[in-house]
Structure 1
Amino acid sequence: MTIPRSSLPRRAPRRTAAAAVVAVAVAGLLAASPASSAEDAGDRAGAGAQAAPDIPLAGVKAHLTQFQSIANANGGNRAHGRTGYKASIDYVRGKLDAAGFVTTLQQFTYSGTTGYNLIADWPGGDANQVVMAGAHLDSVSSGAGINDNGSGSAAVLETALAVSRAQLQPAKHLRFAWWGAEELGLVGSKHYVNTLPTTERAKIAGYINLDMVGSPNPGYFVYDDDPAIEKAFKDWYAGIGVPTEIETEGDGRSDHASFKNAGIPVGGLFTGASRVKTAAQATKWGGTAGQAFDRCYHSSCDTTSNINDTALDRNSDALAHAIWTLGTGATPEPGDVYENTADVAIPDNGAAVTSTVAVSGRTGNAPAALRVGVDVKHTWRGDLVVDLLAPDGTAYRLKNSSSSDSADNVVATYTVDASSETANGSWRLRVQDVAAQDTGYIDSWKLTF
């Protein structure tokens, strides 16, 4: 995991506007039902989904042993642009190819050296509903990076291999990914998202990120972004009696941010980095209060001895539960749609503008998974801040501005927990351009209840 933000240039040379694209509404992920109490929570799944298998800890640790051996043979690390990283990619790809995945090696260039992303697609499932799980495979240059992030990479790999062993036939299409150059500023995942055609981005129903899931003094942290993904993980942990907390230490500092900034629903797991475990957390989870979750974070001692087996095992099983629950459950039927198709110009580096959708005839509150379909045409989407405003004026942030988000247009479906809001009333989409040079307009937007 990269905690410091990288310093990136404001923008490349000005470009012409891309052609308009048609907004594609993506149905929300299936929310898992609460897990029942049982000894092996890895064998449970939500209603309407197939049961996930237990992910063998021995299999996950075998991958970590291989990553350590690769680092030992290649100067002690698996960093971007080093031979150890390419050897790690080749190892993972070999396992996936043998298991029947369709793999793609995506190249990019950063700091004058070639980087690689590995994408693995499991054949079958609805190609318009893609459930993704991923992890960064690179280490820092000072060590082998076994917890950061061999642990997440190995858990994702062994879960993918479990899909193959089960010969799973999911309702949704399953895609797994391993990112390069995360430690240098989320470079690989940004490249993947930014080079995806807009229509392909819209097909990704959710992205799950695992970054540091075997910390030696672990906490159990869950991302609180997409409600369905968050629920799948929280239900699993509740089923084994382990409390969780919302992940805050690295929020936005790992590869899920690349997807979230593009309006793709995200979620994930984390066991902590350099932040110190509190006394309350030690009482709740065990371990040592006053000590970092990972004392070897970004250090040469991040080796195979820097792993907590229990945390690694639990998070691997939790990932499998989420993949099976979200990937094999039936897609919910579309709800009622309220839409505004009138164009609204967005001033360049100016005041925010709004577009209103009137909702009436409903009873009670809005749903916990209110879908907000946004189609904004703009020549530099990184300039834009987008919010949903509830009838009482409460703002729900959909998209932040980002100097590195260089693609055109915002065509995405966001999921908002609006369950505290009255359904009826005037809902507004608010868009502001916060930087100079590029222009655009709100093409259309919709709410799906």
Structure 2
Amino acid sequence: MSLSVPRRLAAVAALAVGGLIAATAPSALAAPTAPAAPTAVTAAPTPPDIPLANVKAHLTQLQTIATNNGGNRAHGRAGYKASIDYVKAKLDAAGFTTTLQTFTSSGATGYNLIADWPGGDPDSVLMAGAHLDSVSSGAGINDNGSGSAAVLETALAVSRAQLQPTKHLRFGWWGAEELGLIGSKYYVNNLPAAERAKFSGYLNFDMIGSPNPGYFVYDDDAAIEQTFKTYFSGIGVPTEIETEGDGRSDHASFKNVGIPVGGLFTGASRTKTAAQAQKWGGTSGQAFDRCYHSSCDNTSNINDTALDRNSDAVAYAIWNLGAATPVPPGKSFENTADVNIPDSPGAAVTSPVTASDVPGNAPATTKVDVNIVHTYRGDLVVDLVAPDGTVYNLHNRSGGSADNLVASYTVNASAEVANGVWKLQVKDVAAQDVGYINSWKITF
């Protein structure tokens, strides 16, 4: 991971629920009274338990590669090319179509590795990736052998299961991330606009085995974020919003061209607080990774529990998001103005959007993305109000004591004319906690 910059930290608790070498995949480069139940992802085949031993075996191989090549796997060094070759060989043997993409940075040749799994809707691509390079001072086993190995083993699990997802699955390993996201920028910048439009999402995994770990989730795309939070809630692990590396890893390259992104992170040089140590264990007052960008970032610099949990989370996301029914691009209307939510007993507040130029009625799969900052979401009742005044309940005091409500809902609004003023209506029905509507969006 590149050096990060801090921004506002919002704690979020768990929820209830250019050359080519080798074969190139063509797309690699180039009734209102009954509201629908809230949902973030469609039911999918059961995700596998990713074997920790397999992930660690990949890390051992990356360590050996570094040891045999000057102690690192940095861009332009022999250790990086050997790392790419190792990952590519595993994927080729597992039945993936692999593409080796070359670029030049700092006077040296760099490599991205792209792996496509056969099948799935070519117009709905779900991609997961990690940077494979290290800094020159060490082997980069946590940063970012951990993410690279977890993505690799998840891809191999796709092959073992002979998974037949609804979406087309693609995996990527990026070069020269440590020099400023060079590899992932090159990949995205060389994708035609028509190819970029096919992405349903990009999932990034950079440092997921930190020795003094936190459990951080990117707060970018709401559906992706919800998927990860659902996984961690299911195993009883609270999460927080990722801020230390926000925008400083490869997901930024995708986000900057409008591709939905999300991901996981266990912390780098920032210090773990006492509250975080109480929540997650580990040592307060100490960095999440004391060996960040140092020579001690070797196979001893990994927390097995964090690596195991996050590797399983990678697979959970691929299985669930990959099986979700592709939705053709719709027309969206968004309100990003903050609206304060008064504490109980206060009146309901609304945030309006005006839909226009949408023919006919709203679809049965109308999507509502909600981002509400609140210190106790169990206080909240959230509704979608149609132009004719019909109310569709989205959230009714669920989620307990967790902070914030960031979620996607699917509403059968097919009885409603799409054009007109739609409102997100929020009421705080219990005392003491406060917050505000940060933004919301409706997509037809």
TM (normalized to structure 2)?
Answer: 0.70
Q: Which amino acid aligns with 1:181?
A: A
Within a 5 Å distance, the mapping from 1:69-218 to structure 2 comes to 69-218=64-213
Question: What residue is the counterpart of 2:262 in the other structure?
Answer: 267
Residue 367 of structure 1: CA displacement?
4.6
Q: Which amino acid aligns with 2:133?
A: D
Check 1:417–1:241 CA distance in 2 against 1; reply closer, same or farther (3 A cut).
closer
Per-residue CA deviations over 1:156-199 (Å, capped at 9, x if unaligned) read: 00000000000001100000000000000000000000000110
- Asked whether the equivalents of residues 4 and 246 of structure 2 are also in contact (C-alpha less than 8 Å), the reply is no
Structure 1 CA distance, aligned partners of 2:214 and 2:181? Answer: 23
Q: Which amino acid aligns with 1:358?
A: S
Selected match of 2:309 from 314, 332, 335:
314
Within a 5 Å distance, the mapping from 1:36-435 to structure 2 comes to 47-332=42-327, 337=331, 358=356, 367-369=367-369, 424-425=420-421
Structure 1 CA distance, aligned partners of 2:357 and 2:81? Answer: 53
Per-residue CA deviations over 1:378-431 (Å, capped at 9, x if unaligned) read: xxxxxxxxxxxxxxxxxxxxxxxxxxxxxxxxxxxxxx9798xxx95499xxxx
Question: What residue is the counterpart of 1:409 in the other structure?
Answer: none
TM (normalized to structure 1)?
Answer: 0.69
- Asked whether the equivalents of residues 172 and 327 of structure 1 are also in contact (C-alpha less than 8 Å), the reply is yes
- Asked whether the equivalents of residues 53 and 162 of structure 1 are also in contact (C-alpha less than 8 Å), the reply is yes
Gapped runs of 5+ residues in structure 1? 6-30, 35-45, 340-355, 371-415, 428-445
Structure 2 CA distance, aligned partners of 1:71 and 1:251? Answer: 28
Per-residue CA deviations over 1:295-335 (Å, capped at 9, x if unaligned) read: 00000000000000000000000010000001012234776
Residue 368 of structure 1: CA displacement?
3.2
Residue 87 of structure 1: CA displacement?
0.1
- Work out whether 1:2 is the aligned partner of 2:2: yes
What SS does the corresponding residue of 1:249 show, helix, strand or coil? coil
Check 1:338–1:98 CA distance in 2 against 1; reply closer, same or farther (3 A cut).
closer
Per-residue CA deviations over 1:10-30 (Å, capped at 9, x if unaligned) read: xxxxxxxxxxxxxxxxxxxxx
Residue 448 of structure 1: CA displacement?
3.0
Q: Which amino acid aligns with 1:152?
A: G
Equivalent residues, number? 330
Aligned sequence identity (%): 74
Structure 2 CA distance, aligned partners of 1:334 and 1:294? Answer: 40
Residue 359 of structure 1: CA displacement?
7.7
Q: Which amino acid aligns with 1:255?
A: D
Structure 2 CA distance, aligned partners of 1:169 and 1:32? Answer: 26
Alignment RMSD (CA, Å)? 2.9
Structure 1 CA distance, aligned partners of 2:259 and 2:42? Answer: 24
- Asked whether the equivalents of residues 134 and 208 of structure 1 are also in contact (C-alpha less than 8 Å), the reply is yes
